[in-house]
């Protein structure tokens, strides 16, 4: 004979055993399950245009110090390689000098079923550097075109690659208006390689992003500026023959003729590390880092004030 008390107790034991088995099966089916990413905890892979390595290194350093459990794995590459990385599953974010066009938006909408987010972060300029012994430190835009298409045969132009980089694309699209680079154009492996090449060759002229030599408070960039000189380019919007260097005020006032934007592109449709990093770059602290690197912040107001120097 079975008593009701023992029947109920037997049922409870059976149910408990069943739940334990279910939990064990679930655990076995998900070994080493990765915790869900949050805006402040997790890892993201990003690719960045090599032209902006100094300033993006600074941005990441401050971001990771603010969010110790957030890790950004960054790879610096040519702009074209960054876009190739974005098409892969492992890279969620790139920082380059343009946004996405309609064709690219269509590709991502078809492949990942949503459109990546992109936006302006800052304004940069293409700086022209020359050897310390060079006397050619003042250039018109016609001079720049002649350097790039090879008409100026006694000068060797060095860039951070002869194809696929944002600097080369700007030179072809914006300066040569679709023309070809001359045979006098050679490639260095990086922006730092451009600086070193120009420092070692008296007849060389280099084209690099201003973030590599614009920050005169940075010890490494101070060392670079001991090795080369920054050329002044004619302001096409100024009255008279005015020649300017790629400083913040000249970028802001559009006096310097070779200006480009810096953009983020993010394919993250949830609240993760990528969106948190974008917010950091767009708001005060991130924008101040761009300002300190002598780029022009693209999301924060930047005032130019007249001053008088007392005698």
Same domain, 173 and 273: no
Q: How far apart are CA 35 and CA 106, in angstroms?
A: 32
User: What is the pLDDT at residue 158?
Assistant: 96
Q: Cα–chain-centroid distance for residue 55? A: 8
- Do the Cβ atoms of 215 and 53 come closer than 8 Å? no
User: What is the pLDDT at residue 300?
Assistant: 80
Q: Read off the pLDDT of residues 124-133 as tens digits, 9 standing for 90 and up.
A: 999 999 999 9
User: What is the pLDDT at residue 14?
Assistant: 46
Positive or negative, the Cα torsion across 177, 181, 186, 187?
positive
Residue 272 lies in a domain: yes
Same domain, 86 and 139: no
Same domain, 146 and 224: yes
- Do the Cβ atoms of 173 and 88 come closer than 8 Å? no
Same domain, 115 and 233: no
Q: How far apart are CA 300 and CA 116, in angstroms?
A: 23
41 to each of 64, 80, 274, how far by Cα in Å? 10, 30, 11
Q: How far apart are CA 130 and CA 197, in angstroms?
A: 10
As a whole number of angstroms, the longest Cα–Cα distance in the chain is 113
| Burial tier of 72 (Cβ tally within 10 Å: 0-12, 13-18, 19+) | buried
CATH number at residue 111: 3.40.190.10
Read off the pTM. 0.83
Same domain, 130 and 190: yes
User: What is the pLDDT at residue 304?
Assistant: 54
Same domain, 157 and 226: yes
Q: How far apart are CA 200 and CA 158, in angstroms?
A: 12
Same domain, 168 and 46: no
User: What is the pLDDT at residue 13?
Assistant: 43
Residue 109 lies in a domain: yes
Q: How far apart are CA 51 and CA 76, in angstroms?
A: 8
Look at phi and psi of residue 161 and say left if phi exceeds 0, alpha if psi is from -120 to 50, else beta.
left
E strand map for the chain: 42-49, 70-77, 93-96, 117-131, 138-139, 156-159, 185-187, 204-209, 228-230, 232-234, 243-244, 259-266, 296-297
Same domain, 154 and 279: no
Same domain, 268 and 161: no
For residue 89, the enclosing domain spans 42-122+260-297
Residue 115 lies in a domain: yes
277 to each of 45, 219, 286, how far by Cα in Å? 12, 26, 9
| Burial tier of 153 (Cβ tally within 10 Å: 0-12, 13-18, 19+) | exposed
Q: pLDDT tens per residue, the chain (311 residues)? A: 444 444 444 444 444 444 444 334 443 444 444 458 999 999 999 999 999 999 999 999 999 999 999 999 999 999 999 999 999 988 999 999 999 999 999 999 999 999 999 999 999 999 999 999 999 999 999 999 999 999 977 899 999 987 789 999 999 999 999 999 999 999 998 999 999 999 999 999 999 999 898 877 788 888 888 899 999 999 988 888 899 999 999 999 999 999 999 999 999 999 999 999 999 999 999 999 999 998 999 998 655 555 555 55
Q: Cα–chain-centroid distance for residue 33? A: 32
Same domain, 107 and 254: no
User: What is the pLDDT at residue 27?
Assistant: 39
Question: How many structural domains does the chain have?
Answer: 2
Same domain, 282 and 239: no
User: What is the pLDDT at residue 221?
Assistant: 83
CA-CA-CA-CA dihedral for 190, 266, 58, 229, to nearest 10 = 40
User: What is the pLDDT at residue 185?
Assistant: 94
């Amino acid at each position: 004979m079975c008593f009701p008390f023992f029947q109920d107790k037997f049922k409870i034991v059976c149910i408990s055993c069943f739940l334990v088995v279910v939990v064990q099966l679930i655990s076995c089916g998900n070994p080493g399950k990765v915790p869900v990413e949050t805006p402040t905890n997790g890892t993201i892979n990003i690719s960045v245009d090599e032209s902006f390595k100094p300033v993006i290194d600074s941005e990441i350093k401050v971001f990771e110090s603010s969010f110790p459990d957030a890790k950004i794995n960054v790879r610096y590459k040519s702009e074209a390689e960054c876009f190739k990385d974005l098409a892969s599953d492992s890279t969620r974010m790139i920082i380059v000098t343009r946004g996405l066009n309609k064709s690219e938006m269509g590709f991502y909408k078809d492949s990942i079923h949503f459109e990546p987010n992109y936006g302006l972060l800052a304004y940069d300029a293409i700086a022209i550097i020359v050897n310390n012994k060079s006397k050619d430190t003042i250039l018109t835009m016609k001079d720049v075109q002649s350097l790039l298409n090879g008409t100026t045969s006694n000068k060797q132009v060095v860039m951070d690659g002869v194809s696929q980089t944002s600097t080369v694309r700007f030179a072809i699209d914006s300066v040569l208006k679709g023309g070809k680079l001359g045979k006098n154009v050679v490639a260095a492996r990086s922006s730092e390689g451009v600086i070193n090449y120009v420092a070692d060759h008296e007849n060389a002229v280099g084209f690099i992003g201003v973030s590599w030599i614009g920050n005169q408070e940075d010890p490494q960039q101070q060392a670079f500026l001991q090795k080369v000189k920054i050329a002044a380019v004619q302001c096409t919007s100024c009255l008279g023959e005015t020649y300017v260097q790629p400083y913040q005020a000249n970028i802001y006032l559009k006096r310097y003729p070779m200006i480009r934007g810096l953009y983020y592109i993010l394919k993250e449709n949830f609240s993760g590390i990528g969106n948190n990093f974008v917010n950091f770059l767009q708001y005060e602290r991130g924008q101040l880092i761009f300002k300190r690197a002598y780029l022009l912040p693209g999301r924060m107001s930047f005032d130019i004030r007249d001053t008088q120097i007392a005698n």
